[in-house]
Amino acid sequence: MSNPSLLILAGDGIGPEVMEEVKKIITWYGDKRDLKFDVSEDLVGGCAYDKHGTPLHDDTMTKAQEVDAVLLGAVGGPQYDSLDFSVKPERGLLRLRKEMDLFANLRPAQCFDALADFSSLKKDVVAGLDIMIVRELTSGIYFGEPRGIFEEGNERVGINTQRYTESEIDRVARAAFELAMKRNKKLCSMEKANVMESGILWREVVTEVGKDYPEVALSHMYADAGAMQLCRWPKQFDVIVTDNLFGDLLSDAAAMLTGSLGMLPSASLGAPMENGRPKALYEPVHGSAPDIAGQGKANPIACILSFAMALRYSFDLGAEAERLEAAIETVLADGARTADLLGPEGGTPISTSEMGDAIVAALEKSL
């Protein structure tokens, strides 16, 4: 039986730095847990444009379609801002999502106990927070037609179209219900059915899908009210399912409840392949952070947690994912902090590589 395959696309900015720490973790699992992965590497984003004139080469896209999971670092940087929209680094990531048909974006917002004071909200509001936002990723207003900037009379008009089919809503809703079944059997669907026809359809389809999951307590909430409730009392939620635009906004809002974007992973899942595993791309929520790239200041935890999500959702290694998450919890409880986690009290931060080494050491102690 062949080893599970993993394509690493470190990308730009701090991407290569944080990915080096993930490679340490992968090596540890191979050496100490006999979990071998067939790892290949390639380019995406600005570095791919520099070499190939495109943010994602066709050969790389083919590789991504063939492996069990893709692990991505970050894309973009100010040196690419003047490029034509069609070849900007972010187009490489969007192409991966679209052509792999990664329709369900999983964005956990988990507050480690050691960082509860780091949130902008009161400790009792965020301590123990563990919610999951499921965002539809391949349709909605980011992809709908017509779109563009057009001349209308004597002025220009910008147009984007919010568009969803029943089947697109159905499949992301089912992904959310399945996730809720494995958690606390509670799902909140968010849209704007009060002012948007697409929201009316969204609510109707999610309600219909819910009949197939009678054990899950389904509720509905307008997305703007959901944003308010995330800031008021986020622990009322467990799994949230929403569309592409609202998911983009709500998941970033939920992200900051935990204190730092450097702590947050994500998974983008598609339909099952022949081996039964879903097509999948895992990436940290943070961007390429060009202001600190190459300085050893980046927090690698979000990227490492993205690998933990791969262990759980692509390779059915939930216990090993929990081992890795517990190691991170231990390191944070021991006071290890990269620069983004120091807070107003200050202190001496450890480097990107030192954080990775500390997590490997905690894994070693877990044996």
Residues with active-site annotation: 142, 192, 224, 248, 252
Q: Write the DSSP string, 125-148.
A: HHTT-EEEEEEE-SSGGGTEEEEE
Q: For 214-254, where are the E strands, in sequence order? A: 217-222, 239-242
Prior bond of 146 cis (ω within 30°): yes
How far apart, in whole angstroms, are the C-alpha atoms of residue 70 and residue 65?
9
Residue length of the chain: 367
How far apart, in whole angstroms, are the C-alpha atoms of residue 276 and residue 279?
9
Q: What's the CA angle centered on 110, arms 230 and 281, to 5 degrees? A: 105
Q: Pull the structure tokens for residue 324.
A: 């890795």
Which residues lie closer than 8 Å to 350 by C-beta, 6 or more apart?
Answer: 336, 337, 338, 358
Return the sign of the alpha-carbon dihedral for residues 32, 37, 43, 46. Answer: negative
Maximum Cα–Cα distance for the chain, whole Å?
70
Query: What are the angstrom distances between the C-alpha of 150 and each of 86, 145, 154?
Result: 18, 13, 11
The residue whose two tokens read 């494995």 is 182
